[in-house]
Amino acid sequence: MSEQPSSEPRNTVNQDQQPQSVLSGLAEIIRFAIIAILIVVPVRMFIAQPFIVSGASMDDTFHTGEYLIIDQVSYHFEQPDRGDIVVFRYPRDPSKFFIKRVIGLPGDEVNIENSVVTITNQEHPEGFVLEEPYVQTMSPAPAMSESLGDREFFVMGDNRDQSSDSRSWGILQEDRIVGRALVRLFPPTMVDFMPGDVSIDESLLEPQTILR
């Protein structure tokens, strides 16, 4: 006796499972995206943030198109130091970010005359000339002096003749500082940790000669 073909469709189980498999895959993608957001967003907001350099104000330390990672944590525990490269919100337009070098610290008096920067403070009441091997150019300009209060900094670009900095728009308040340059990731030939970092041992500085 021949077997009658079953009227029940084949592969019923597989057909029922296919939509469930798609939904499961979508759920996994959504879950992965949520986890990534929970990790990436706090990191970018509070720990490290990428920036691309644009402009010539920091030549030859940085050039247009270089990709930097900014450390946003360290300055929650310590103040910026002289010589640090900092990224901050431009005081006249907080939607813009600038990158400059810290020249004057809270309590300093910064004097600039004939392209020479002199720092006077409690530790150096006679003042000292700031050695700046990183400066590309700095043409003589009218003498200026700026006294810094608590949480105030004086910043300048390394390419002084092409830099909009504290000489033109004034003192930088600490709460405007986003962080310091931690890593240069691009271009590959310029990968560097703490790019542009200059250690200044002020205990070894000679006092400025005062002409009478």
Active site residues: 57, 100
Locate tokens 């944590």: which residue? 73
| 66: exposed, middle or buried (Cβ count in 10 Å: 0-12, 13-18, 19+) | buried
Q: Are 149 and 173 in contact (CB under 8 A)?
A: no
Measured CA to CA, the distance from residue 112 to residue 166 in angstroms comes to 12
Amino acid at 98: F
Measured CA to CA, the distance from residue 196 to residue 87 in angstroms comes to 13
Which sign does the torsion angle of CA 170, 175, 176, 177 carry?
A: positive
Could you report how far apart the first and last alpha carbons of the chain are, in Å?
128
The Cα angle at residue 195 between residues 132 and 206, in degrees rounded to 5: 25
